[in-house]
Amino acid sequence: MAATLSVFNACLDPTQQLTAAAALRLTQKDLSRRINSAGWQAQFQAVSAVGKAMLLSEITPGARAFLTCAPSGRTRMEPAVFVAEIRVRLGIAEATADTWRPKYDTILHIIGGERTLRHNTLRDLILN
Protein backbone atom coordinates (compact mmCIF):
# COMPACT_ATOMS: atom_id res chain seq x y z
CA MET A 1 0.00 0.00 0.00
CA ALA A 2 2.84 2.40 0.78
CA ALA A 3 4.21 2.13 -2.77
CA THR A 4 0.77 2.79 -4.26
CA LEU A 5 0.22 5.78 -2.01
CA SER A 6 3.65 7.11 -2.94
CA VAL A 7 2.84 6.89 -6.67
CA PHE A 8 -0.55 8.51 -6.07
CA ASN A 9 0.91 11.36 -4.03
CA ALA A 10 3.63 11.96 -6.64
CA CYS A 11 0.83 13.00 -9.02
CA LEU A 12 -0.53 15.58 -6.59
CA ASP A 13 0.59 19.01 -5.48
CA PRO A 14 2.53 18.66 -2.20
CA THR A 15 -0.22 20.54 -0.36
CA GLN A 16 -2.82 18.03 -1.58
CA GLN A 17 -1.01 14.77 -0.73
CA LEU A 18 -2.77 12.22 1.46
CA THR A 19 -1.84 9.98 4.33
CA ALA A 20 -2.78 6.32 4.13
CA ALA A 21 -5.59 6.85 6.64
CA ALA A 22 -7.01 9.80 4.68
CA ALA A 23 -6.80 7.88 1.40
CA LEU A 24 -8.67 4.92 2.85
CA ARG A 25 -11.57 7.16 3.89
CA LEU A 26 -12.08 8.40 0.32
CA THR A 27 -14.03 6.71 -2.47
CA GLN A 28 -12.45 5.72 -5.76
CA LYS A 29 -14.40 8.58 -7.36
CA ASP A 30 -12.85 11.08 -4.93
CA LEU A 31 -9.35 9.71 -5.54
CA SER A 32 -9.86 9.86 -9.31
CA ARG A 33 -11.15 13.42 -9.04
CA ARG A 34 -7.98 14.44 -7.19
CA ILE A 35 -5.74 12.88 -9.85
CA ASN A 36 -7.77 14.47 -12.67
CA SER A 37 -7.68 17.87 -10.98
CA ALA A 38 -3.92 17.67 -10.50
CA GLY A 39 -3.45 16.67 -14.15
CA TRP A 40 -5.68 19.54 -15.28
CA GLN A 41 -3.73 22.04 -13.16
CA ALA A 42 -0.39 20.79 -14.48
CA GLN A 43 -1.60 21.01 -18.07
CA PHE A 44 -3.12 24.45 -17.50
CA GLN A 45 0.08 25.84 -15.93
CA ALA A 46 2.23 24.49 -18.78
CA VAL A 47 0.46 26.26 -21.68
CA SER A 48 0.53 29.79 -23.07
CA ALA A 49 -2.20 32.37 -22.51
CA VAL A 50 -3.85 31.25 -25.76
CA GLY A 51 -3.67 27.63 -24.62
CA LYS A 52 -5.22 28.59 -21.29
CA ALA A 53 -8.08 30.37 -23.07
CA MET A 54 -8.69 27.31 -25.25
CA LEU A 55 -8.65 24.95 -22.26
CA LEU A 56 -11.06 27.18 -20.35
CA SER A 57 -13.38 27.34 -23.37
CA GLU A 58 -13.51 23.54 -23.44
CA ILE A 59 -14.73 23.20 -19.85
CA THR A 60 -17.73 25.49 -20.13
CA PRO A 61 -21.10 23.72 -20.05
CA GLY A 62 -22.15 22.70 -23.55
CA ALA A 63 -18.74 23.41 -25.10
CA ARG A 64 -18.62 20.05 -26.88
CA ALA A 65 -22.34 19.53 -27.39
CA PHE A 66 -21.97 19.85 -31.16
CA LEU A 67 -20.13 16.52 -31.18
CA THR A 68 -23.32 14.69 -30.17
CA CYS A 69 -25.65 16.36 -32.69
CA ALA A 70 -26.89 14.56 -35.77
CA PRO A 71 -25.57 16.40 -38.86
CA SER A 72 -28.79 17.30 -40.65
CA GLY A 73 -30.84 20.25 -41.82
CA ARG A 74 -29.79 23.81 -41.11
CA THR A 75 -27.69 22.73 -38.12
CA ARG A 76 -25.43 20.61 -40.31
CA MET A 77 -21.79 21.75 -40.29
CA GLU A 78 -19.88 21.65 -43.53
CA PRO A 79 -17.24 18.90 -43.38
CA ALA A 80 -14.36 21.40 -43.68
CA VAL A 81 -15.71 23.49 -40.78
CA PHE A 82 -16.19 20.37 -38.65
CA VAL A 83 -12.64 19.18 -39.37
CA ALA A 84 -11.25 22.64 -38.59
CA GLU A 85 -13.14 22.68 -35.28
CA ILE A 86 -11.85 19.23 -34.31
CA ARG A 87 -8.29 20.22 -35.25
CA VAL A 88 -8.46 23.26 -32.96
CA ARG A 89 -9.85 21.19 -30.09
CA LEU A 90 -7.06 18.64 -30.52
CA GLY A 91 -4.40 21.35 -30.80
CA ILE A 92 -3.39 20.38 -34.34
CA ALA A 93 -2.07 23.16 -36.57
CA GLU A 94 -4.50 24.12 -39.33
CA ALA A 95 -1.74 24.48 -41.93
CA THR A 96 1.98 23.90 -42.34
CA ALA A 97 2.52 27.49 -43.52
CA ASP A 98 0.50 30.70 -43.82
CA THR A 99 -1.57 30.44 -47.00
CA TRP A 100 -3.77 32.85 -48.96
CA ARG A 101 -7.46 31.84 -49.03
CA PRO A 102 -8.99 33.55 -52.10
CA LYS A 103 -12.50 32.25 -51.38
CA TYR A 104 -12.53 34.10 -48.06
CA ASP A 105 -10.13 36.90 -49.08
CA THR A 106 -7.98 36.20 -46.05
CA ILE A 107 -4.87 34.39 -44.87
CA LEU A 108 -5.04 30.95 -43.29
CA HIS A 109 -2.52 31.20 -40.47
CA ILE A 110 -0.59 28.23 -39.15
CA ILE A 111 -2.30 28.48 -35.77
CA GLY A 112 -5.81 29.75 -35.23
CA GLY A 113 -6.26 31.36 -38.63
CA GLU A 114 -9.76 30.07 -39.19
CA ARG A 115 -11.12 30.78 -35.74
CA THR A 116 -13.02 33.89 -36.86
CA LEU A 117 -14.28 32.17 -39.99
CA ARG A 118 -15.43 29.20 -37.94
CA HIS A 119 -17.10 31.50 -35.41
CA ASN A 120 -18.92 33.43 -38.14
CA THR A 121 -20.04 30.25 -39.88
CA LEU A 122 -21.45 28.82 -36.64
CA ARG A 123 -23.06 32.16 -35.77
CA ASP A 124 -24.75 32.37 -39.18
CA LEU A 125 -25.90 28.76 -38.91
CA ILE A 126 -27.49 29.31 -35.51
CA LEU A 127 -28.99 32.75 -36.07
CA ASN A 128 -30.37 32.24 -39.59
**98: containing domain:** 65-127
**What pLDDT is recorded for position 104?**
73
Query: CA-based angle 77:98:94, to the nearest 5?
Result: 35
Q: Is the dihedral of CA 110, 116, 119, 120 positive or negative?
A: negative
Q: Is the pTM of this model over 0.85?
A: no
Could you tell me how far CA 86 lies from the centroid of its own chain? 10
Span 15-69, pLDDT tens digits = 889 999 999 999 989 999 998 989 888 889 998 888 888 888 888 888 878 777 7
Say if 27 falls within a structural domain: yes
Q: Are residues 42 and 69 in the same domain?
A: no
Residue range 62-101, pLDDT digits in tens? 887 877 777 777 777 778 778 877 877 777 766 677 777 7
Name the β-bridge partners of 101.
Answer: 106
Number of residues that this document lists for the chain:
128
Same-domain pairing of 40 and 75: no
**Cβ-contact 62, 73 below 8 angstroms:** no
User: Looking at per-residue confidence, does 32 or 116 come out higher?
Assistant: 32
In a domain, 56, yes or no: no
In this prediction, residue 21 carries a pLDDT of 92
In a domain, 58, yes or no: no
What's the confidence (pLDDT) of residue 109? 63
10 and 39 share a domain? yes
> Is residue 24 one of the residues assigned to a domain?
yes
Is pLDDT of 110 > 70?
no
Tally of domains within the chain = 2
